[in-house]
Amino acid sequence: MTVAAGAPALAINGLTFHYPDGREALRGVNLTVQPGEKVALVGPNGAGKSTMLLHLNGLLQGGGSISVFGQELRGSDKRTLQQVRATVGLVFQDPDDQLFSPTLAEDVAFGPLYMGLSEQEADRRVGQALAQAGLAGYENRMPHHLSGGEKKRAALATVLSMSPRILCLDEPSAGLDPRARRGLIQLLAQLDQTILVTTHDLHMVRELFPRTVIMDGGLVVADGPTGAILADQALLDAHGLELP
């Protein structure tokens, strides 16, 4: 994958997508994210947030264009797409989907091994990613023996081990109890990657993300500093958002 100097981390232009049943999920999304930015993507259920995330590493391909550090995804060959997947780490909403291996170590090593890294390097990254996620010593634990909060952090570790430059997380704090949620927020605060997070947790948005994007009906309807967006009660009301 060629990285253009000075290119934005993500540049999405006129992204459209139809589900096979004809339903329109994205109707021309425009969004640019600069390297190192931390952006929250909020909006009602069905707004197209998760669908958009699936486009960012080529899992879904719609109309319009997406480039990752200057690399256009449209028309990219399989090899380039795989390189993009090492750059854009996607963490899915349900950690039980993300954690599919018998043990945590195997799951966290999955990405590094597919990137072609040596086993020693994969092991080193497993240790590092688990420690970063606060799960040091959990290598041989089975996913179904973990609590909800641990599963969420483990799912993040499976992507951190790939050292992606961009992290995309789908509702990372959903369904967590206050303590687990706090642990996750602290973990996200320590990460220095470019981060794009879809969420309904406006508390977390206020705490962690300087920039907020609102999506509704398959479009970006607002984009600006979090303070200004969350202060606009009429805007929040119009898109089914509620301040904590």
Partner 1 sequence: MSAEAAYLDRYLPGASALHGADARAKAPMTVGFILATSALPVGAWAWYGVMCAAVWLAVAASGVGLRRLAGRTLIALPFVLAAVPAIFTRPGQPVGELPLGPWSLTAIDAGLVFCGSVLLKSWISVTAASLLVATTPATTLITALYALRVPPVLVRIVAFMHRYLFLLTEEVARLLRARASRSAALDGPVGGSVAWRARVAGGMAGALFIRTYDRAERIHMTMLARGFDGDFRQRAPVPLSRASLTGAAAVLVACGGVVALAHMSAWL
Residues lying near partner 1 in the complex (CB under 8 A): 54, 57, 59, 78, 82, 85-86, 89-90, 92, 94, 96-98, 100-103, 109-111, 113-115, 119, 122, 140, 142-145, 158-159, 162
Q: To 10 degrees, the CA torsion angle through 176, 180, 182, 184?
A: -90
- In whole angstroms, the minimum distance from the beta carbon of 181 to partner 1 comes to 21
Which is closer to partner 1, CB of 193 or CB of 212?
Answer: 193
Which is closer to partner 1, CB of 78 or CB of 179?
Answer: 78
- In whole angstroms, the minimum distance from the beta carbon of 224 to partner 1 comes to 29
- In whole angstroms, the minimum distance from the beta carbon of 122 to partner 1 comes to 8
Nearest-CA neighbor of 70 among 80, 59, 82, 60? Answer: 80
Burial level of 173, CB count in 10 A (0-12/13-18/19+)?
A: buried
Which is closer to partner 1, CB of 13 or CB of 140?
Answer: 140
Q: Is 201 helix (H, G, I), strand (E, B) or coil?
A: coil
Which is closer to partner 1, CB of 17 or CB of 92?
Answer: 92
- In whole angstroms, the minimum distance from the beta carbon of 154 to partner 1 comes to 13
- In whole angstroms, the minimum distance from the beta carbon of 237 to partner 1 comes to 33
Q: Is 224 helix (H, G, I), strand (E, B) or coil?
A: strand
Q: In this structure, are residues 102 and 142 in contact, taking their beta carbons and an 8 Å threshold?
A: yes
Distance CA 73, CA 81 (A): 7
Which is closer to partner 1, CB of 16 or CB of 50?
Answer: 50
Q: In this structure, are residues 185 and 220 in contact, taking their beta carbons and an 8 Å threshold?
A: no
